[in-house]
Structure 1
Amino acid sequence: MATELATLGGGCFWCLEAVYQELKGVEHVESGYAGGHVADPTYEQVCDGSTGHAEVVQVRFDNEVISYREILEIFFTIHDPTTLNRQGNDVGTQYRSVIFYHGPEQESVARQVINCMGAVWDAPIVTELKPVPEYYKAEEYHQNYFRQHPLQGYCAFVVAPKVSKFRKTFSDRVKSAA
């Protein structure tokens, strides 16, 4: 088994975490913060937009089951990569679309996928592409959030539709237990 990490930001980390937890080949998903200038930031600090951090997920996956390219193709279908610092009603740099690559191979694949996705979207892709910076795990209450709080308002009206879209679009890639 060959595991690899992907670090992605595309709006609220609860949305990305909920989808990737259901994806075949994904071993672990963790919500966190990356890309800013404050060490060990809190959720409150990140939310006020002054830290420079984005809400991200780190996805550990078995690249013999699913490729990094497939991880990114799913990423581009579960968030809007054309809105700068915004996903729906979530506004601010902490919600930006960003791929933090782990090495030159991931960078190359990400550039290829971004170029391909440019033909799919009606507006230019604004997803940042940067080397992975220092990563900070989010507070424990953010981990597995959707699984623990599926009826919470944001989860019911924002996260659940993204998970549903993922299940429908990628039904052959959903873990059987999901």
Structure 2
Amino acid sequence: MKTKKEYSAWRIAASHWFVAGIIAVIFQLIYTALTGYLYLDCGFGGLISQSICTWLTPSLTMIGYIIVPVLAIWLGVKLSSRRVNKYFILKDIRKVINIATTLTALSILVYVESILTAVGDMEGEIVNLELAVYGAELAGLILTVVVFYFASKKYIKISDSPESGSQDFSQVHHTSFV
């Protein structure tokens, strides 16, 4: 087994953020590829009836904007946490998690800004469905940051040295005042 190494909190946090993000993007691309056929089939009058398309397309869109990003980031954090626990010595877990969550929030803020710009650029009558889609997308992005933080807290463990095993964060920081 490769020995654990100690790095700065920034380096570990950036690594965790990057790996979790890449895994999340891959998961979302798989969802998009699987649902893309349904969208094309509905759009070009394929095998799926129009009544099913009327119900299915908005449902898949909402699932794609709310549920899939949350599941994707959870999976990304879980897999990235295994890597972090295996290769890094973690002493200040709060700092690592806070930095990684801040990086996640900042990267999502860039995307949120583009959504708000798109809503602001709409001319004429704003269609309720478009607003619902943008609202669902914003809700999914906010939930993504929350899930990233709490999943990181759950799955990243503290280790003091390469020889010591990982300890659960909740068990390490309990102090008694008695």
Instruction: Give the TM-score taking structure 2 as reference length.
Output: 0.27
Relative to total residues, which structure has the larger strand share, 1 or 2?
1
Instruction: Answer with 1 or 2: which has the greater Rg.
Output: 2
TM-score w.r.t. structure 1 length?
0.27
- Structure number with greater CO (CA < 8 Å, separation at least 6) is 2
